[in-house]
Amino acid sequence: MSVGPLSKKMFSRAQALIPGGVNSPVRAFKNVDGDPFFVRRAKGSRIEDVDGKHYLDYVGSWGPNILGHAPIPVTNAIHEAAKDGISYGIPNVGEVEMAQKIIDWVPSVEKVRMTNSGTEATMSCVRLARGFTGRDKIIKFEGHYHGHVDSLLVAAGSGALTFGEPDSAGIPQSFAAETLTLPYNDAEKLEEAFAKYGEQIAAIITESYPANAGLIFPKKGFLQLMRDLTEKHGALLIFDEVMTGFRLAKGGVQELEGFTADLVAMGKVIGGGLPVGAFGGRADIMEYLAPNGPVYQAGTLSGNPLAMVAGLTQLRELEEQNGYAQLTNLGTRFGDGLRKILSDKGIPHRLNQVGSMFCLYFLDEEIVNVSSVTKQDFSIFKKLFWACLEEGIYLAPSPYETGFISMAHTADDIDETLTVIQDVVAKW
Ligand SMILES: *Cc1c(COP(=O)(O)O)cnc(C)c1O
C-alpha cells in the first residue's frame, strides 16, 4: 500500500528541497515505513489529498483542530480580523482577552504570557524556573516530549540516577548534564532523585497526561508526590499541558485531577490552528519575566492578533456547544467499539482513552511508562495503519502518537471507522 501518484511526485520534489521532505519529522511517515500523502484541503472531519482521495482524520493537525478542519466561526473571525491588520508588534486588545480567558479557565494561572509554539512555552518555563529558584537542574521523564528544547531533548543517563545524554546531535553534553531523566510513574526513583539532588533542582517538568509515547496516565498518588517533593525542596512543578490543555476540559488535567502546578505550558488547541503557545502560573514567579524581572523572554509575533482571535473563537465555540461532554461521548463510543472488535477477535490490546484522546497498544498490560510502550510488536500497528489509510481512515502514522477526535466528527463517522477496522482485522 502506498499513497497516490501526485503525492509521490510532490514528496520527491519536497525531499530535494526540504530535509526529509518535511518541516516536522513525524510527518515523513518513517514510523510506518512509507511516504506521506500531500493534503489539498480539509474540512470538518475529512481531508482530501492532492490525488483526490478522501480521509476521515484522527490526527487533527496533531491536536489543535478540536472543532475539526476550517470551522466557519474561526475562518470568519480570522478573515474579519485580518482586514484590520495581520501583525502590529504593539499591544492589542485580543492579547488581554486571551489572558483573561486563560486565567479564568486554567487553575493555578494568575498571569500568562503568549508565545508562538508549545516549544517556546516549555523552554520559557524552564528558563523562568531556573531564574526564579537560582538553580540549574531539571527533572524530566522518559518518553515525555516537551518540544525541541535543548535541555529537554535528553535521554536517560546510563547508570542509576545519572544526568542525561543528549537525545539529538547538536546539544552540548554540558546542557544535557543539567537534566535528570527518570522513568515515569516510578515513585522510588523520584524520591531518590530529590534525596540526592534536592537542593540543586529548579523544577520537575512533566506532561500532564503523557501523550507522546502513546497515552499514559499517572498512577494514583504520583502527581501528588511530585507536588509534595517540589514543595519540600523549594523546586517548581511545571505542567506541560500543550496537548491536554483546553482539549480535555476547560482547565485541562489540573481540573480533572484537582491539582495545581506552579507553571503551566499551553499550546495547540489554544491557537485555533494558528501557531500559538502560552505559559503562565503563580504571579510571583511570572513577575520574574522581563520587562519587570531578570528572566528574558520575547517574540516578534507573540500575541499575534489573528492567532488571538482564532484561539478565542475556538474556545468560545467549544464552550457554547458544550464541547467537552460531546467529545467525551464520541471518545467513549469509539473506545468501547474498538475494544469490543479487538476482544472478539482475540487480539491482545490496551486502548487508553480519555475524552477525545485515544491510543491503541497491541499489548495487554497496564501501560505505565515508555518501557511498556516499546514492548509492542510495531508490525501489527503498521499493518492496521496502512489498511485503514487504504480505506480512507487516517490514523496518526506512528504507534507513539495519540489520536484525536474533533467536534466535527459524528457518531456515523465513528461507526464508519469501527466498521472499517472490523473488516480489516477480520482478514488477519
Ligand atoms: C506538541 C507538544 C509540544 C511542542 O509544541 P510545538 O507547538 O510543537 O512546539 C510540547 N509539549 C507537548 C506535551 C506537546 O504535545
Summarize the confidence of residues 170-190 as an average pLDDT.
95
Answer whether residue 244 shows pLDDT above 90: yes
Summarize the confidence of residues 362-380 as an average pLDDT.
90
pLDDT at 99: 98
What's the CATH number where 280 sits?
3.40.640.10
d(CA 57, CA 159): 42
User: Domain check: are 63 and 179 in the same one?
Assistant: no
Report the percent of the chain where pLDDT is more than 90. 93
Q: How far is the CA of 391 from the centre of ligand 1 (A)?
A: 30
Ligand 1 pocket at CB < 6 A: 117-119, 122, 145-147, 207, 212, 240, 242-243, 267, 277
Contacts of 126 (CB under 8 A, 6+ apart): 138, 149, 151, 152, 202, 203, 205, 238
Closest C-alpha residue for ligand 1 atom 11: 146
Q: How far is the CA of 328 from the centre of ligand 1 (A)?
A: 22
Contacts of 225 (CB under 8 A, 6+ apart): 187, 190, 191
User: Domain check: are 52 and 108 in the same one?
Assistant: no
Q: How far is the CA of 259 from the centre of ligand 1 (A)?
A: 21
Is 400 among the catalytic positions? no
Q: How far is the CA of 208 from the centre of ligand 1 (A)?
A: 12
Closest C-alpha residue for ligand 1 atom 6: 118
Alpha helices in 178-251 (DSSP H): 187-197, 222-233
Answer whether residue 236 shows pLDDT above 70: yes
* pTM summary value: 0.97
User: Domain check: are 222 and 350 in the same one?
Assistant: no
Q: To the nearest 10°, the Cα dihedral for 248, 151, 197, 232?
A: -30
The count of other CB atoms within 10 Å of the CB of residue 174 is 8
Answer whether residue 158 shows pLDDT above 80: no
pLDDT tens-digit profile of 282-338?
Answer: 999 999 999 999 999 999 999 999 999 999 999 999 999 999 999 999 999 999 999
Answer whether residue 163 shows pLDDT above 90: no
Of 319, 342, 358, the last residue of a domain is: 319
Of 319, 339, 372, the last residue of a domain is: 319
Summarize the confidence of residues 362-391 as an average pLDDT.
93
pLDDT at 1: 64
Summarize the confidence of residues 184-196 as an average pLDDT.
97
Compute the mean pLDDT over every residue in the chain, rounded to the nearest whole number.
Answer: 96
Answer whether residue 159 shows pLDDT above 90: no
Choice among 49, 57, 240, 262 that is catalytic: 240
CA 142 → CA 183, 206, 422, distances in Å?
5, 10, 34
d(CA 248, CA 266): 13
Q: Which atom of ligand 1 is nearest to the CA of 207?
A: 13
User: Domain check: are 249 and 150 in the same one?
Assistant: yes
Q: 184 pLDDT band (50/70/90 cuts)?
A: very high
pLDDT at 162: 80
Q: Supply the range of the domain harboring residue 339.
A: 5-70+322-426
Residues 273 and 74: beta-carbon distance below 8 Å: yes
d(CA 197, CA 303): 37
Q: Which atom of ligand 1 is nearest to the CA of 241?
A: 13
d(CA 59, CA 48): 14
Closest C-alpha residue for ligand 1 atom 15: 243
Q: Into how many domains does the chain fold?
A: 2
d(CA 57, CA 46): 6
Shortest CA distance to 283 belongs to which of 303, 262, 267? 262
User: Domain check: are 39 and 169 in the same one?
Assistant: no
Answer whether residue 207 shows pLDDT above 70: yes
User: Domain check: are 180 and 35 in the same one?
Assistant: no
User: Domain check: are 214 and 269 in the same one?
Assistant: yes
Is 145 among the catalytic positions? yes
Is 35 among the catalytic positions? no
Choice among 145, 184, 324, 394 that is catalytic: 145
Summarize the confidence of residues 392-411 as an average pLDDT.
96
Of 319, 352, 382, the last residue of a domain is: 319
User: Domain check: are 370 and 304 in the same one?
Assistant: no
Summarize the confidence of residues 383-402 as an average pLDDT.
96
pLDDT at 205: 98
Answer whether residue 373 shows pLDDT above 80: yes
Helix pair 323-344, 305-320: axis angle to 10 deg? 70
What's the CATH number where 332 sits?
3.90.1150.10
Residues 68 and 407: beta-carbon distance below 8 Å: yes
Summarize the confidence of residues 408-423 as an average pLDDT.
98
pLDDT tens-digit profile of 90-129?
Answer: 999 999 999 999 999 999 999 999 999 999 999 999 999 9
Q: How far is the CA of 127 from the centre of ligand 1 (A)?
A: 17
